[in-house]
Structure 1
């Protein structure tokens, strides 16, 4: 089994980070500014938060493809999103002042879905 650690920015890839035997590092895309946290859905969709930019992105890619992944803005103007997690089909985003839920995220990410406030 080929194990790859994907990066969304090239700083670490260029710095010569050591990885365990059997692993490699590749830059997936550099089009997600300030990438800080990631969660991957069962379908393979990669969701990425950028804390300082306050954005949430979906990175659409196929592991077997050599083409540049598509980057889709899912949410913006979030107040310091610092953590993301998937529970079933729902994506949860922990921001500075609240927790948001994006229901059925794989089916709605292209539509700039309106999140549900879980706690404020």
Structure 2
């Protein structure tokens, strides 16, 4: 993933790959001959990577929470006992706590320390 940044306006466009030919505005220069646009490889951008990893971990957590929803409904409907529901309730609480930790992570190191 790449982004094209207009150095004078700060305008950003995101592309899945860097174009081979710099035609159109991409090759534009200012009066001193300096390029107006700069390609930035987002895969090296820690903030971008952090957000991608957060999305992945959150998705895994939400998926497991969703898979436990039916057991909550069974408990509410009286189909399983409080004793049977207790471990499920504990796991759901744990997953919500993990989700909040993932959401609050500010660096990749913080995020990698969170074990699912």
TM-score by length of 1: 0.18
Q: Tell which structure's C-alpha radius of gyration is larger.
A: 2
Higher helix share: 2
Higher strand share: 1
TM-score by length of 2: 0.18
